[in-house]
Amino acid sequence: MSTRLRIDLGYSGTHFSGWAVQPQLRTVQGSLEEALAVALRCDRDLITTVVAGRTDAGVHALHQVCHMDLPDGVKPGNVEGLAKRVQGALRTEDIAVHRISVAPEGFDARFSPLSRTYRYRIDDGHSPRNPLHHDYTHRSPYSLDEDAMNELGSRLCGLHDWGAFCRPKAGATTIRTLTRFQWERDGEGILVGTVVADAFCHSMVRSLVGAAVAVGRGKLGVDEVLTLRNRAERTSSWTTMPAKGLTLVSIEYPADNQLALRASDTRAKRAPTAD
């Protein structure tokens, strides 16, 4: 049985074409796997990572998790020092490798999580312009009503079919459990939305935020969004928000002795899809 490694990392997504490997494009997965091959002194084609949640182009991550199975005959050496070797091989500050460890039995980066947490930042004119926010905050031309956005967030939560918020993918389910969707202003007046679910289908978070913005500016009512959600059909009634305001904050996993069971339950509930 091969050794499975857990890799914890973060990245600024501004200059990447998303997580997933794409020919001729700079991606997080591609850059990480190339660095792993260098650090492990093996062929690049032998390295494949599996991620907790594939992020789109321009989306950031403070804490992402992936795993890889060591190829036959490849020895990691000092695992505690592997993260430092991979970081050096990356030759970029856009990716930060936090930790590499031997994964517990039953660990699957994609199917074992209990939940994923994202945050979306919006500057709607309640704070002074800050050039340091540019790559990580969406600037809205409209002043937004966070109370209305929070009413929508609380009423959206639960187990539902999120087809109205997801890009369709053949054979993949759009049923998810949204456990938290809440807005608050930080000390600078930036509107920060926190979105937590067991998993997310493609573009779901940015579409949820788009619906909240439509409500916050008075373009749609809360009941209208709920009606569209219940139809579970892709809609153009709101805009999918730009990627740069979105950050993956954390991935939550169960205790080690529950990892395999959680992965099995997740596979049974939904077909593989992009998170």
Q: Which residues are catalytic?
A: 56
Residue 226 contacts residue 88 (beta carbons within 8 Å):
no
> Which ranges of the chain does DSSP label H, i.e. alpha helix?
28-40, 79-90, 146-156, 204-216, 222-231, 259-269
Residue 58 contacts residue 243 (beta carbons within 8 Å):
yes
What's the gap between Cα 74 and its chain centre? Answer: 30
Phi, psi of 193 (to 5 degrees): -100, 135
Q: Given phi > 0 = left and psi -120 to 50 = alpha, else beta, which region is 21?
A: beta
Query: Which two structure tokens, joined as six digits, stand for 207?
Result: 């579409």
Query: Which two structure tokens, joined as six digits, stand for 114?
Result: 């209990």
